[in-house]
Every structure is written in structure tokens, then in C-alpha cells.
Amino acid sequence: MYTIEFTTENTISERLKDVLLQAVRDEDADATCRVEGDVCVIQGNKADPEHLSYLLGIAAGCGNTNEIVKLVLSYEKMR
């Protein structure tokens, strides 16, 4: 189980929101991606390193157009 949450300096644009939503859908069909204003929260159950690093890279990459002021990754291995 994982959660990636980030807050940006400015509101997340609709274009970036669409990119984030599509990337999450492509990588983990069961995950959720919620974007509200300047906050994005991605949550899912695929917990292997490849999926997490890809989604974290997408999240961090959004900082190219809008500075990230907070980034939190929470991970718990399911048993």
C-alpha cells in the first residue's frame, strides 16, 4: 500500500492534472489520484519498487512547471 502526496506552489493546471491521472491509470488501474487546487494525492496497492519509482518520478517531474513545496511518500508492504 502506498500514498504519494505533494503540494505545489501554485494551483495544478488542468493539463498537468490530466497527465497525472493518465499516468496513474496506466501504471496502477486500481489506484486513485485526487487533485484539488495545489495538492495531489495518489494512493494504491501495487507496492513493487518499479511502480513506486515511476509514479514518484511523474509526481516529482511536475515540479518542472510548478515548484513542489511538500512531497510525502508513505509505503507499507502488504503481508
The CATH number that applies at residue 64 is 3.30.70.100
Nearest-angstrom CA–CA distance, 44 and 53: 13
pLDDT less than 70: residues of the chain: 62-65
Domain that residue 51 falls in: 2-75
Give me the number of domains the chain comprises. 1
Please tell me the predicted confidence (pLDDT) of residue 36. 96
Please tell me the predicted confidence (pLDDT) of residue 64. 63
Nearest-angstrom CA–CA distance, 65 and 20: 13
Please tell me the predicted confidence (pLDDT) of residue 74. 92
